[in-house]
Chains A and B, each alone.
Chain A
Amino acid sequence: MASNEEILAGLAEIVNEETGLAPEAVELDKSFTDDLDIDSISMMTIVVNAEEKFDVKIPDEEVKNLKTVGDAVSFIAGAQA
């Protein structure tokens, strides 16, 4: 079980790997599309990598609800519980 801080740090690493964005830029209130400029293909890549890293399932229909980094952290934390 990872803490929310660990999930955020892990997500930031995945986002950095995919987009080159600095990990510090990946903050809880940031929108994936509007703030981080992540397109749908990159988003799906991030989702797949997050599933592997945190050993969770993130259903495709759930992905559209993950608007901010905080949404993703909460979902992963919930899915791990």
Chain B
Amino acid sequence: MARKVVITGLGATTPIGGDVPTMWKNALKGVSGAHTLTEDWVEKFDLPVHFAAKASTLATDVLSRVEAKRMDPSTQFAVVAAREAWKDSGIEEIDHDRLAVAFATGIGGVWTLLDAWDTLREKGPRRVLPMTVPMLMPNGPAAAVSLDLGARAGAHTPVSACASGTEALHIGLELIRSGKADVVMAGGAEAAIHPMPLASFAAMQALSKRNDSPETASRPYDISRDGFVMGEGAGALVLEAEEHALARGARIYGELAGTAVTADAYHITAPDPQGLGATRALKAALFDARALPEDVVHVNAHATSTPVGDKPEYTALKAALGDHVNNVCVSATKSQMGHLLGASGAVESVLTVLAVYHRLAPVTINLENQDPEIPLDVVTGTPRELPEGEIMALNNSFGFGGHNAVVAIRSTGPKVELPS
């Protein structure tokens, strides 16, 4: 019997809240974190997209000036979220040789990289700061979190584009099940609201160009969806061997019951239109969780709001869950906070955990005319109550490169009421 892994701490910094309580409150209310960018580079480079979902709290307001100076913005977000999750877990004493990190990013330290390139061209090599490489490396967030917590059982960095954050949970689960660690700080971070990635994603027609209405631009499943909205931030989850958590009397949010990762091997960016890779990931995650489709009550969908992406996910859900797909309520939370790329899977996993813990599915905003080809039961307007008893929720993430990652979260209840 494999070791059971439970979730005992949550952290997040996102466009709809700089911490978990604020994010969750807004996710239930249904607010948009997307706004017109006021930076001068939007006009300077004549970017085709003028808006994004920036983190609602500056990491530099949370971290000290000196520690922030040595971190790329993506690492700053990671440390902010990981500290919140760690505090939330209540862990005080731990064998640091049994504590690991799995912290993802999709793009890495793009601000640091391009700032240093500007410095090199404008001022020469002597002015390129010595911290440049450790700040731009994609393992920067994992390394910083490991340093911050004193985690010595390995610090891993899954990089699988927009599936990265969810793949971090997959790695964390394996580390604990295999006995290599007792506790893992798993998560994902991204800070890519920079003119170059914006120009690049816009060039591939992946971004919404609804410049006159940023708040309604991210509209998963809506017939008029025209692309995703770039977001930024980080999510973090403390994964813990069940016996370790029980021994210290920890508050348990739910069980990380199963995970799966597959690859499409179909196209570098386009999803397989049949959703075959996603279907295999969904089935494998359920198998890994020793669960049946009928156990699933809620899905936090990848649903980025691109014309080509949303439908194959539905096809995959239908293939994996069969007719039971009609009984599952779906939340597309990117409608609120945009697409946090390599952090999205981690943040959405935090939301999925909270959904089973509080028995409430967060709302999807901007769904006015649902695409008739995607007849999912989408949660809109007010949060949906989830049933009592033992329930399971899934979080899907898919990334350029054909990466598919799915996590299955189980809760045996009882429902935990929200603090008033």
Q: How far is the CA of A41 from the CA of B132 in the complex (A)?
A: 10
Query: Could you give, for residues 4-29 of chain A, a 1 whenever the CB lies within 8 Å of some chain B CB and a 0 otherwise?
Result: 00000000000001111000000000
Q: How far is the CA of A19 from the CA of B64 in the complex (A)?
A: 11
> Which of the candidate stretches B123-131, B229-237, B238-246 sits at the interface with the other chain?
B123-131
Name B128's closest neighbour in chain A (CB-CB). A48
Check B129 against A45 for contact (C-beta < 8 Å): yes
Q: Of B64, B65, B126, which one neighbours A51 at CB under 8 angstroms? A: B126
Query: Could you give, for residues 100-132 of chain B, a 1 whenever the CB lies within 8 Å of some chain A CB and a 0 otherwise?
Result: 000000000000000000000000001101110
Q: How far is the CA of A75 from the CA of B69 in the complex (A)?
A: 27
Q: Total contacts A to B, CB within 8 angstroms?
A: 20
Name B129's closest neighbour in chain A (CB-CB). A45
Chain B residues positioned under 8 Å from A45 (CB to CB): 129-131
Count, chain A residues at interface, CB 8 A? 10
Check B66 against A48 for contact (C-beta < 8 Å): no
Check B130 against A44 for contact (C-beta < 8 Å): yes
Closest chain A CB from B116 CB (angstroms): 12
Q: How far is the CA of A44 from the CA of B65 in the complex (A)?
A: 19
Query: Taking A19-B66, A20-B64 as contacts, is the C-beta distance between A48 and B126 under 8 angstroms?
Result: yes
Give chain B interface residues in 213-268, CB to chain A under 8 Å: none
Q: How far is the CA of A73 from the CA of B207 in the complex (A)?
A: 53
Closest chain A CB from B72 CB (angstroms): 15
Chain B residues positioned under 8 Å from A48 (CB to CB): 126-127, 129-130
Closest chain A CB from B9 CB (angstroms): 28
Give chain A interface residues in 27-47, CB to chain B under 8 Å: 41, 44-45
Chain A residues positioned under 8 Å from B131 (CB to CB): 41, 45
- Measured CB to CB, the residues of A under 8 A from B are 17-20, 41, 44-45, 48, 51-52
* 5 A-B pairs with C-beta separation under 8 A: A19-B66, A20-B64, A45-B130, A48-B129, A51-B126
